[in-house]
């Protein structure tokens, strides 16, 4: 009996020792895993600080939002927001409200779809960000959290816009170049509703070769740039303005009331040119000749161009510094 009890106690101590050793090993493993996780987190946050990425996580059940330091600074919000839905509804700060709307948009966007947003940055400038999101689910397939990643693509967007502008705009005058204005007018003609009126105008600088020969090409370039600026100010946001080449410009007027409007508009262009091409403005007095025609149903660019070109030559035959307008 005593021997059995002694064996039980001995075995109990062995079991306890084994459990203790197992506990030590488990704790060591937990500590090791925690160190690995901490190192992973350090690398993770270092990468975020070293790149143009910003991260947030929305916990669905808790209705809580957690943001990285960079993301919080970008959106003008604290790092943690509880009762996110209520805060988003009642937020008063304009910048914070814009950031909250951005996150709401991401949360309610179909997974895998990239959202592009414009955000005001801490320095006051606006940046363009692409937002990627991923939803995490529990074992029952329910969404428990949504992680969003904002990537600053401002530089790329600006470079793309610059490339597009160089491809579409005339380098000297910064209005549409010949290829672009022809394409845009052609598209506008095809999309024009039969019951609306539109018109096309062509104009050029009177005796422009003489300006170049007498005052030099630098003055000639200044004349073209100043004229283009005056034309931009005279046209509406819905109108199309381009340089066909040399000193020749084209304007497409979309949705105008009638021929009388076209006549009045051409008269205005002559007056604008006399003002912006005065000796005080460009060093010599220049004028323009203008031709304008109403677009006909089913007319393409080539046919319309032929009619408006004839109207321009008619204005020149009348003595220049005037216009010729036809239905």
pLDDT tens, N- to C-terminus, the chain (327 residues): 555 545 544 555 666 666 667 777 767 766 666 665 565 555 545 544 545 578 888 999 999 998 888 888 888 889 899 999 888 888 888 888 888 888 888 888 887 788 888 888 878 888 899 888 888 888 888 888 888 888 888 888 888 877 777 788 998 999 999 999 999 999 999 888 777 899 999 999 999 999 999 999 999 999 999 999 999 999 998 999 999 999 999 999 998 999 999 999 999 999 999 999 999 998 899 999 999 999 998 899 999 999 999 999 999 999 999 999 999
Q: How many residues does the chain have?
A: 327
SS3 state at 26: helix
Q: Residue 9 and residue 15: Cα distance in Å, rounded? A: 10
pTM score:
0.60
Q: What b/e string do you get for 260-292 counting C-beta neighbours within 10 Å, with b at 16 or more?
A: eebbebbeebbebbeebbeeebbbbebebbbbb
pLDDT for 163 equals 78
Contact 173, 228 (CB under 8 A): yes
Distant-in-sequence, close-in-space partners of 172: CB < 8 Å, separation ≥ 6: 221, 224, 225, 243
What is the reported pLDDT for 11? Answer: 58
Q: Looking at residue 68, what is its pLDDT?
A: 85
Give alpha helix (H) positions in the chain: 2-50, 69-75, 84-90, 94-107, 154-168, 178-191, 208-215, 217-234, 259-276, 279-282, 301-317
**Per-residue pLDDT at 93:** 85
Q: Are 109 and 115 in contact (CB under 8 A)?
A: yes
Rg of the chain in Å (alpha carbons): 35
């Amino acid at each position: 009996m005593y021997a059995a009890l002694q064996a039980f106690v001995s075995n109990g101590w062995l079991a306890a020792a084994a459990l203790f050793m197992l506990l030590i090993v488990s704790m060591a493993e937990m500590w090791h895993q925690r160190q690995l996780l901490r190192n992973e987190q350090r690398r993770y946050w270092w990468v975020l600080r070293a790149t143009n990425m910003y991260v947030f996580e929305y916990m669905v059940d808790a209705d809580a939002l957690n943001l990285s330091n960079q993301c919080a600074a970008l959106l003008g919000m604290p790092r943690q927001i509880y009762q996110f839905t209520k805060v988003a509804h009642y937020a008063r700060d304009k910048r914070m409200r814009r950031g909250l709307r951005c996150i709401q948009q991401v949360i309610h966007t179909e997974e895998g779809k990239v959202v592009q947003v414009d955000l005001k940055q801490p320095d006051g400038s606006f940046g363009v960000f692409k937002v990627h999101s991923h939803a995490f689910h529990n074992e029952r397939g329910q969404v428990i959290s949504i992680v969003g990643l904002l990537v600053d693509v401002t530089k790329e967007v600006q470079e793309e816009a610059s490339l597009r502008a160089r491809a579409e705009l005339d380098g000297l005058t910064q209005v549409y170049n010949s290829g672009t204005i022809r394409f845009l007018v052609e598209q506008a003609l095809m999309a024009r509703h039969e019951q609306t009126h539109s018109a096309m105008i062509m104009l050029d600088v009177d005796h422009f070769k003489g300006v170049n020969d007498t005052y030099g090409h630098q003055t000639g370039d200044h004349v073209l740039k100043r004229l283009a600026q005056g034309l931009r100010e005279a046209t509406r946001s819905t109108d199309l303005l381009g340089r066909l080449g040399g000193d020749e410009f084209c304007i497409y007027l979309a949705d105008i009331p009638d021929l009388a409007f076209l006549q009045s508009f051409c008269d205005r262009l002559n007056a604008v040119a006399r003002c912006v091409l005065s000796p005080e403005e460009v060093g010599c007095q220049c004028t323009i000749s203008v031709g304008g025609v109403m677009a006909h149903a089913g007319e393409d660019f080539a046919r319309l161009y032929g009619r408006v070109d004839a109207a321009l030559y008619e204005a020149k035959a009348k003595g220049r510094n005037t216009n010729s307008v036809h239905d």
